[in-house]
């Protein structure tokens, strides 16, 4: 293997490693966003249910 081939191999390896690290970071962010979205949806559901309970209370 010549020196040029080794450098080309190293360059491709660095690019591949960079892409893999990027994909892992994006996957972690998506996971966190999905968890946050689930929490927000749960809060919205609880808030909506609480507002409906308030509206059903008879007055007077």
**Helical segments of the chain, H only:** 3-55
3-state secondary structure of 57: coil
Dihedral angle, C-alpha 31, 33, 39, 41, nearest 10 °: -120
1-60: per-residue pLDDT in tens? 899 999 999 999 999 999 999 999 999 999 999 999 999 999 999 999 888 887 666 666
Model pLDDT, residue 1: 85
**Residue 56 phi, psi dihedral angles, 5° rounding:** -85, -5
What is the spatial distance between Cα 20 and Cα 17, in angstroms, rounded to a whole number?
Answer: 5
Model pLDDT, residue 52: 82
């Amino acid at each position: 293997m010549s020196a040029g081939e080794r450098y080309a191999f190293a360059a491709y390896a660095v690019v591949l490693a960079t892409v893999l690290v990027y994909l892992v970071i994006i996957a972690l962010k998506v996971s966190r966003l999905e968890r946050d979205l689930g929490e927000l949806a749960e809060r919205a559901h609880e808030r909506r249910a609480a507002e409906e309970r308030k509206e059903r209370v008879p007055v007077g």
